[in-house]
Amino acid sequence: MNLFDLSLRLNGFPIKEAKDALKDIQAKNDTDFKAYVEAKKQEIVNFHLEKNPFYKTFGKGIDLNDWNRVPIMTKSHLQQPLVERLSAGFTPKSVYINKTSGSSGDPFIFTKDKFCHALTWAVIQNRFGWYGLDFNTSKQARFYGIPLDKKGYHKERFKDALSHRFRFSVFDLSDASFEKYLKKFGSTRFDYINGYTSSIVQFAKFLQRKDIVLNHVCPSLKACVVTSEMLFEDDKKLMETQFGVPVINEYGASELDLIAFENPDGNWQINSETLFVEILDEQDNPLPLGEEGRIVITSLYNKAHPFIRYDIGDIGKLSKTSTIKNPILEKLIGRTNDIAILPSGKKAAGLTFYYITKSIIEDNGNVKEFVIEQLKPDTFKIVYVSSGKLSDEKKEKINAEMENYLENGLNIIYEKQDQLNRSKSGKLKQFSSYLNKKQ
C-alpha cells in the first residue's frame, strides 16, 4: 500500500495530479522549457499583484517587461502576521503552514497552497527515485530532531510510521546511543539514511572507531542522503567508507522546495521545474555563470504566499555548463550572515576557516566535533567535544593557520564541553558571528 501518498491525499494534497504535472514539465524540450519558465514567472507575479495585498504594496510599480526590476524579497520583509501575507481566496485552514528553522537568524511562519506543497513532494520523490528509493516502500533511517513534549513526540512517531521511516534522535550522540542505533540497523531492513549532516558524520566516526562498515550489518542499505548542513568532502569520503553506500547531497528550504539534489553524475542539479534560481551581486544585478553571488529564488507555483525573487540568505554559484532546463549548482559557499568581519575590515566566509581548522583539529580522532564563534572582530572561540583537552601544540598550529588564512593579531579561545548545543530542530551551526547578530 502507498501509505505515504495516501497520507498526503487524505490531508488534501493532490499528489497524483502533482506527479502528472511534473512529468509534463520534464517532457518539454529546451525551447518549450524556456518558454514555460518565462510564462510561469509572469503568471506568478501577475497573480500576486492581483490577489495578494501584501505583494501589491511590496511590488508597486513592477514592470514585467524587465524582470531585473522586480524587487528582491528578504526574510525580514516576511516577518509580519501570516494573515497579512495570504492571497485572496486562501485561509489558514485551507493551506499548508509551517515555520522556518531560524538557522538564518530570521525565523517566520510561511504557507503554501496545497497543490504547490504536493508538487514539492512530487519533486522530492522524483529525485530520490534516481537512486531507486521510493517513499512508499523504501525504509528510511531518519537522523533528525524530535519534539521532547509528549504530544509532539508521539505525533512525529506517528508521521514516521506512515512515512515508512524510523527516527534516530540527534540530541544524544554518545557512543551508548550509537550502540543502540547499530543494533537497530542490524535488525531492520533499512534502504537509506536521511538527515542532518553533522549527526550522521558522528555516527560514521563511531563506526570508524569500531572498525565497522554499516552495510555489512545492514545489507539492504543503498544510499545516504544528507541535508540542512554543509557537507565537506572529507566527511563525505568518511561516510561512504563506513556506510559502504553512496552519499548524496541535498539542498533545500522548507519555505520553498527542494532546491538542488546531487544527481547520479555527481552534479548538484537545481530544481528548475518549480523554481527559478538566480545568482545576483550586492547591487541585485544578475551574475554570469561561474561567478559567486547571492542565491535568489522564485517559487513558480505558490499562489497562497509570494516568494518572488526571494533572497534565501545563501551564497553560491552556477556552473558554466548550466542550461535553463538543467542548471547545476557548482558551489554552495555558505550563508550571507556567516561572514567573519576582521579588525582590518577584511571579510571571510565563516565556513572557509571552519574548514581550515577542521583539517587540523580532527586529524587524530580526539575531537569528535566543534563549532566556531566570533565574539569580537579579533576574538574567536572554538567550542569542542573531545575525549581530552587539545594539546598546546595543536592549539599553536590552529592559531598559526587561522592567522595565515585570515590576519595577524587574532585571539583564539578554546572551550571543551561534553556536548554541543543544537537548535530545537537538531541542526548544528558550525560558525556563528555574534557581531552579525548585533547589527
396-438: pLDDT as tens digits: 988 888 888 788 899 999 999 988 877 666 677 778 888 755 4
Asked which of 110-124, 172-186, 390-404 is least confident by mean pLDDT, the reply is 390-404
Pick from 101, 97, 136, 134: which is nearest to 114 by CA? 97
Higher confidence at residue 88 or residue 154?
88
SS3 336: coil
Structure confidence at residue 26 (pLDDT): 98
Structure confidence at residue 105 (pLDDT): 46
Higher confidence at residue 318 or residue 332?
318
Residue 318 gets which letter from DSSP?
A: E
pTM for this entry: 0.82
Structure confidence at residue 336 (pLDDT): 57
Q: Where are the domains of the chain?
A: 3-335, 339-438
Angle between helices 15-26 and 3-10 (to 10 degrees): 110
Could you count the other beta carbons within 10 Å of the beta carbon of residue 176? 7
Structure confidence at residue 404 (pLDDT): 80
Amino acid at 212: I
Split at pLDDT 50, 70, 90, the class of 104 is very low
CATH number of 339-438: 3.30.300.30
Residue 78 gets which letter from DSSP?
A: G
Which of 3.40.50.720, 3.40.50.12780, 3.30.360.10, 3.20.20.70 would CATH assign to domain 3-335? 3.40.50.12780
C-alpha distances out from residue 370 to 129, 136, 362, Å: 34, 37, 9
Q: How far apart are the first and last CA of the chain?
A: 52
Please provide the DSSP assignment of 354-369 as one string: HHHHHHHHTTTS-EEE
Beta strand 329-335 with 310-318 is: antiparallel
